[in-house]
Amino acid sequence: MTAANFNACLAAVLNEEKPSDDPPCRLGVTRDAWQTWVGVNRVVTAADILALTVADVTPLYRVFWRGCGADYLPDGVDLVTLDWCINSGVRDGNKGLQKALGVSVDGLVGPETLNAATNGDHAAVIGKVSELRADLYRGQGYWLDRIGHIHAAAHDMIAG
């Protein structure tokens, strides 16, 4: 439950991200997302996206990490939550975690969410988060595979 888990979680997420030329996407970052990140004073090209490195995108993903309160989430729970936040936006990912925990759903990770996550059965929380995400992506093979891989990686984190 520390920032030290960020690199392991980011590596697991980036392992699931496949590059794409149409639309341009690399390391999970689309042209629109990168344009928002770098601001309006620079026009982002497809070549810029395809040239992105892990070092380039890490600060962006730290924003997601902080947005889901992952520094304070249990090992494994941080990973499944981060992946959902990256995939669907921080607010929706946080809402998914809150639904899995059975707490008030407002999209903001505060004391109620953190206490429930910390004091709950971490394996069960990982399972419920993965189940809720899978319900959103029924019939979409790639996303279901990704959820399964992230689920397995999260369980590996709590196993030691």
Q: What angle do CA 106, 112, 117 make, to 5 degrees?
A: 100
pLDDT at site 20: 86
Identify the bridge partners of residue 24 per DSSP, sorted by sequence position: 21
Domains and CATH numbers, the chain: 3-159 (1.20.141.10)
pLDDT at 86 over 90: yes
In contact, 143 and 61? CB cutoff 8 Å: no
pLDDT at 160 over 80: no
Residues 6+ apart with CB under 8 A from 115: none
Q: What angle do CA 96, 99, 104 make, to 5 degrees?
A: 115
Which segment of 21-30, 46-55, 108-117 scores lowest on mean pLDDT?
21-30
Q: How confident is the model at residue 67 (pLDDT cuts 50, 70, 90)?
A: very high
pLDDT at site 157: 95
The model's pTM: 0.94
Nearest CA to 79 out of 136, 28, 141, 155 is that of 155
**pLDDT tens-digit readout, 93-105:** 999 999 999 999 9
Which segment of 7-16, 126-135, 142-151 scores lowest on mean pLDDT?
142-151
**pLDDT tens-digit readout, 105-130:** 999 999 999 999 999 999 999 999 99
pLDDT at 79 over 70: yes
Cα of 101 vs its chain's centroid, Å:
17
Q: How confident is the model at residue 22 (pLDDT cuts 50, 70, 90)?
A: confident
pLDDT at 2 over 70: no
pLDDT at 1 over 70: no
Tokens found for residue 103: 């707490």
